[in-house]
Amino acid sequence: MLKRYIEERGPDKFDLVIIGGGITGAAVAYIASARGLSVALFEKKDYGGATSAATSKLIHGGLRYLANGELKLVRESLRERRILGNIAPNFVYPLPFIMPMYKRWRGNIWKMLIGMYLYDLLSYDKKDTWDKSKKLQNHRLINHRKTIRVEPNLRMENLRNAFYFFDYQSIFPERLTLAFIKSATGYGASVSNYTPVEGFIFGEGKKITGVKVKDLFTGREKEVHTDLVINCGGTWADKILGLAAGEENLTHRIKRSEGIHIITKKIAGHHVVSLQKDDGGHMMIMPWREHSLIGTTDKEFLGDPDDYRVSMESIDEIIENVNTYFGRKISREDIIHAYGGLRPLVDDQTKGSYETSRKYEVYDNAADGIGGMITVEGGKYTTSRSLAREVLKMISAKLDRTLADSVSDNLYLSGCEIRDMKQFMIRQHLNYKDFSRNTVEYVSRNYGTESQVVFRLARSNPRFAEVVTHDGEILAEVVYAIQYESVKTLSDIMLRRTGIGTLGNPGKAVIDKVAALAAGMMGWSDKRKEEEIASFIKVYELF
């Protein structure tokens, strides 16, 4: 059961305090606690609810980074792709890509061919998977006829052939982030969502010795002492630095990139269609839950991250790109959902956002006059685990402690202890014949070994076995989220613990059903329930 530290009677002194509960903070908390450190993690909203939720749902090697000559980053990404496929087998799966080549193409076909061979070479260990079904094939060049057969909705004018290759897909990034959080608590970490850091405690020489946190729901405040603060605020990292140093003394600013995605009914096949735009950028049409996930934009954002919202202007940009570079046209009326977020980039780079690297930096803030803090900046979802390992190197040096050996690359994440997914799914279908095939597929993959509890809840009450989405989600998932996964709001339930709201507005009947169930279990008043519904529906107000 995932508990909120702020609600418990726990220690008020830790080796590390981690600020930020996105994938970076979650990975650092897991690896640090697994290596013997006492850890507290505070997230100002919900775990994995900001940048970590605004992804393309891919775990990829970063093929486009080859154009920048970033071989080390690509190799690291390809290694981490394999490791995530191993330690989170129910969340991460091989996914085929098709990249069509056109006559009068802006790029260089020979350069692309060399890049593909290099991509295969750098992923030399891609077949070293625990689950043999996760082995990836090398790329191949398919001819014009086969390209059309694989993807008949491509733009046909000047089409020559296509590259066909593989990366991985993460079917539910928010739950994958949560698996890291749960793994951290399994090693004793204390975690708390909706608990922002509102100030710092200073010792001699203005060194940070603790943080002041506040429970957003009760108003309870608490001082937590620590040897070292790890700033994993991502897009908000410079705001955390400003809180520590004072805005007037802050010289370090985060560079932010906006990324938008839209979801439509299925317009392509069971593979990712990667299309190059005239400006050199790429757009992808990805399969997800029997729909098409399309994105992403990638341009610099200069405003306050707290004020960021998905704009219709950015959505129209994606629509225009689809209609220009793909054979099947779409309009605003085809969009059933859209989401977006801001990515933190290393700020000393001056290129356009798309060309900017996804490399990361870990630096000691003592150089800025802020002792007792380390800030993590940049990076991407795929390399979050290896980024956390780099953070631990600096932590070990700062604390002058020899840490236990890392185990994060050879142990399953919490709820992911599955050696063979094919055999696991066969057993699931045999054990839960009283549920639809869709429900067994969805619940088993998104809850892994924890799915037995979800099914047990569904069997305990016919009401909980009710199906509420086209692909089999059931109300028992809502019950499980409330009882075991530290939810505080309706949006937590609908968008991050379950996928009931991630394919667009599920409709008043479903929202009312889930809200009524949550209100009864969490003791919400009628007023609070209506406020939760109103807050959740704002996600779709763009349309």
Which DSSP helix (H) or strand (E) runs through 109?
Answer: helix 109-122
Q: Is 355's pLDDT higher than 60?
A: no
Radius of gyration of the CA atoms of the chain, in A: 23
CB atoms within 10 A of CB 480: 26
Give pLDDT, residue 543.
52
Alpha carbons 94 and 114: distance in angstroms, whole number: 22
Give per-residue pLDDT as tens, 142-170: 999 999 999 999 999 999 999 999 999 99
Give pLDDT, residue 107.
60
CB under 8 Å to 388, separation ≥6 — which residues?
24, 27, 28, 30, 31, 32, 408
Delimiting residues of CATH 3.30.9.10 domain(s) in the chain: 83-171+255-342
Q: What is the mean pLDDT of residues 328-338?
A: 96
- Reduced to 3 states, what is the DSSP secondary structure of residue 459? helix
What's the mean per-residue pLDDT of the chain?
A: 93
CA 291, 317, 55, 22 torsion-angle sign: negative
Alpha carbons 147 and 140: distance in angstroms, whole number: 11
Q: Is 438's pLDDT higher than 90?
A: yes
Q: Is 5's pLDDT higher than 80?
A: yes
Domain 5-51+174-253+358-399 has CATH 3.50.50.60: yes
Give pLDDT, residue 357.
44
Delimiting residues of CATH 3.50.50.60 domain(s) in the chain: 5-51+174-253+358-399
Give the position of tokens 């506040």: 214
Single-letter amino acid code for the residue at 341: G
Give pLDDT, residue 30.
98
Alpha carbons 8 and 531: distance in angstroms, whole number: 26
Give pLDDT, residue 251.
64
Give pLDDT, residue 109.
76
Give pLDDT, residue 154.
97
Q: What CATH number is given for 421-540 in this structure?
A: 1.10.8.870
Q: Is 352's pLDDT higher than 50?
A: no
Q: Is 72's pLDDT higher than 80?
A: yes
Give pLDDT, residue 354.
42
CB under 8 Å to 342, separation ≥6 — which residues?
50, 51, 54, 235, 256, 257, 258, 259, 301, 305, 308
Q: What CATH number is given for 83-171+255-342 in this structure?
A: 3.30.9.10
Alpha carbons 514 and 318: distance in angstroms, whole number: 32
CB under 8 Å to 216, separation ≥6 — which residues?
44, 194, 195, 196
Give per-residue pLDDT as tens, 372-396: 999 998 878 999 999 999 999 999 9
Give per-residue pLDDT as tens, 242-301: 998 876 666 667 888 899 999 999 999 999 999 988 877 889 999 999 999 999 888 888
> Are 84 and 177 a contacting pair, CB within 8 Å?
no
Alpha carbons 234 and 525: distance in angstroms, whole number: 35
Of residues 343 and 17, which shows the higher confidence score? 17
CA quadruple 451, 454, 458, 460: dihedral, nearest 10: 110
Give per-residue pLDDT as tens, 439-466: 999 999 999 999 999 999 999 999 999 9
The closest of 7, 86, 58 to 408, measured between CA atoms, is 86
How would you classify the pairing of strands 13-19 and 39-42? parallel
Give pLDDT, residue 350.
36
To the nearest 10 degrees (0 to 180), the angle between helices 476-484 and 508-522 is: 40
Give the position of tokens 């190799």: 75
Delimiting residues of CATH 1.10.8.870 domain(s) in the chain: 421-540
Find the largest Cα–Cα distance for the chain.
72
Q: What is the mean pLDDT of residues 359-370?
A: 85
